[in-house]
Amino acid sequence: MPPLPQAPVPDPRFTALPKTAEVLAALPSGRIDPFAPPALAIDKSKNGKAPLKPPSLQFTGVALTNRGSPQAFVAFNSESGAVSPGDQGGAAIPWLPPGWRVISINVQQGQLVLGNGPQRFPFQL
């Protein structure tokens, strides 16, 4: 009868792969608040601050310009006007909250998405 094979000796030059249980344990599970709207559900900021609340903005309409560019009509702090993707609130555009930026406008669905840093807030007509 032949001798039984011995277990292989691990080579010290290689790093062992993690076990299945270690990989699965490292994965996040679910959302912080499963009932929160998706834009508010996750705050992965490293500074530990609470997520920002959406601005008190009135979203009143959408339109396409003659060149086919989408615009949204908004009002903030008794100022109103049209905004386009990329516009940022401040002195030049007082009808958007300072620091907030227009991420996207979907004319067909009547949706405006504003962003402030990594957070996104959708507004629906």
User: Whole-prediction pTM value?
Assistant: 0.57
Cα(24)–Cα(114) distance, integer angstroms: 34
Instruction: For residues 75-94, give the mean pLDDT.
Output: 92
User: Is residue 55 very low, low, confident or very high in pLDDT (cuts 50, 70, 90)?
Assistant: low
The residues pairing with 67 across neighbouring beta strands, listed in sequence order, are none
What would the pLDDT profile of 16-44 be if each residue is shown by its tens digit? Answer: 888 888 887 887 666 666 666 654 434 44
User: Is residue 46 very low, low, confident or very high in pLDDT (cuts 50, 70, 90)?
Assistant: very low
Backbone angles phi, psi at 22, to 5 degrees: -70, -40
pLDDT at 105 over 50: yes
Give the pLDDT score at 51: 52
CATH class for the domain made up of 58-124: mainly beta
